[in-house]
Amino acid sequence: MSDKSGGSTKQNMSKSAPVESKGPRKIKALPSRPVNNIRDNTFWYSDGNIVIQAGVKLFKLHASRLQRFCVYFKEMVDLDGGDAKRIEACPVHNVPQGATAEGFKAVLYVVEVPFETFTSKLTLPGIIAMLEAAHLLSCNSALHVAKRRLATVWDPHPVPARPDPENVIPYTSTIATIHRAGDYNLFSIEKRAFYELLSSENYWQAYFHTNRESIDLSAYDRERLLHARDVLGRWWREFVLTPPEATQRGNPATGRTKCKWCTYKVTTERERVWRLFIIGKGDLEHGALDPLRYNLVDLRRQDLLNEWWCMDCLRNKENAWKAKTVEWWGY
C-alpha cells in the first residue's frame, strides 16, 4: 500500500526488520524427569526401540526413522541411551526445549503417516506448534507442511476474504502467527496476519484500554499497525463519502447526470443525500475498521434501492470499491 500522504503503508505492513535465516538449533536433549507420563495412543509402536518424551506425553518410535527425517536426532551423540532412563528396555530422550507434545505429534504425522497429515485438521495454535517443533527438530519435510498449512488458514491472496464468523481467531493467535511468519520469512502470510490484527476489534480494545506494553508485539510493530489503521481509515472515508458515479455523466456545465433511473440527478444533490445516508447508517466509521472487506453496497443494497438509487449506479460503486481494495492492499 502506498500512503498518499507520503508514507509507504505497503512497506509498513508487509516488511519487518530483516531476519537472518535460522539454521538448525544446537539444543541438547534435556534429561528425562520422573513425571506421571501418558503414552500416546497413536505413536506407541510395540517394536519401537526409542521412547521420546514431550511434556508428559511418551512416544515409542523407531530411532532409524527419526534419524532419517530429523537432523536433531541424527546428530544426537548418544541415541542408544547410555545411562538414560528406560521404558520397556528403550532409552528415553526428550524433545528440544520449546517443542510441545502437540507440535511433536504433528511432526510425527508427517514422518509416519503423511496421508493423514493432509486429511487432518489443525487449529492455528496447533499449526504454530508444529512449525516450531519442526524447526527445532530440523525436520524439513514437516516444516514445509507446516508452512503450507499456515497458508491455508490465511491464504495470501491480494485481498483478504471475509473471515468465518464461526471460526474467529483470537488476536493472540494472530500475533503468534506474525512472530512465526517473520521467523521463517513467510512475508505474504505475515502481511495477511497484520491485516487480521489491524481489523480486530479485540486487539484495539486491548491496545487502547489496557497496558499496551503487555501486548506481545514490539513497539515498532504496534506503531506501524496504528499508522496503517489511520491511513486505511482515511482512504476509506474519502472513498465512501463520494456518491456513486452515474452510468451517464450528462452535462458537466449543468451538474446534471443522464442516469435514467436515479431520483437524484444534480451532482450536489447526489452528494448531499449520499453522505447523509452513509453517516446516518454508521458506515463511515464501521467500514473504516475493515475497509478491505466492508462491502457497503452488498450490505445496504435494499436500503439504497429504497432511497431511489438505481442498480446501475450501485454496481458502479461496488466495482469502484473492489478496485480500491486491490489498490489499498498494495497490488
pLDDT for position 168: 78
> C-alpha 224: how far from its chain's center?
17
Residues 6+ apart with CB under 8 A from 213: none
Residue 185 burial class via C-beta count within 10 angstroms: exposed 0-12, middle 13-18, buried 19 and up: middle
Distances (CA, A) of 51 to 66, 101, 117: 11, 13, 22
Q: Which has more confidence, 70 or 84?
A: 70
Q: How many CB atoms lie within 10 A of CB 256?
A: 16
pLDDT for position 149: 87
pLDDT for position 157: 64
The DSSP 8-state label assigned to residue 251 in this structure reads B
Per-domain residue ranges of the chain: 38-150, 232-329
Percent pLDDT > 90 in the chain is 56
User: Are residues 91 and 79 in contact, defined by beta-carbon separation less than 8 angstroms?
Assistant: yes
Residues 6+ apart with CB under 8 A from 282: none
- At residue 83, does pLDDT exceed 90? no
Q: How far apart are the first and last CA of the chain?
A: 7
Q: Which has more confidence, 280 or 210?
A: 280
38-150 classified as CATH 3.30.710.10? yes
Q: Letter for the amino acid at 33?
A: R
- At residue 251, does pLDDT exceed 70? no
The region of weakest confidence among 13-22, 30-39, 157-166, 307-316 is: 13-22
Degrees, nearest 5: CA angle 161-165-167? 90
pLDDT in tens, 164-214: 676 778 899 999 999 988 888 888 888 889 999 999 999 999 999 988 888
Instruction: Give the integer Cα–Cα distance in Å for 288 and 322.
Output: 15
Q: How many CB atoms lie within 10 A of CB 129?
A: 25
The whole-chain average pLDDT of the chain stands at 83
- At residue 243, does pLDDT exceed 70? yes
One-letter-per-residue 3-state SS of 211-237: CHHHCCCCHHHHHHHHHHHHHHHHHHH
Q: Which has more confidence, 153 or 13?
A: 153
Strands 57-61 vs 38-44: parallel, antiparallel or unpaired = parallel
pLDDT for position 78: 63
pLDDT in tens, 32-56: 454 467 999 999 999 999 999 999 9
Query: What's the pLDDT band for 124 if we cut at 50, 70, 90?
Result: confident
Q: Scan for cell 526488520, then name that residue.
A: 17
pLDDT for position 330: 79
- At residue 151, does pLDDT exceed 50? yes
- Please compute the mean of the pLDDT values over residues 130-152 and round it to a whole number: 92
- At residue 16, does pLDDT exceed 70? no
Residue 238 has, within 13 A of its CA and on its CB side, a CA count of: 9
**Alpha helices, DSSP H only, in the chain?**
9-14, 63-69, 71-74, 101-112, 114-119, 124-137, 140-153, 171-183, 187-198, 201-209, 219-240, 267-281, 283-286, 296-306, 311-329
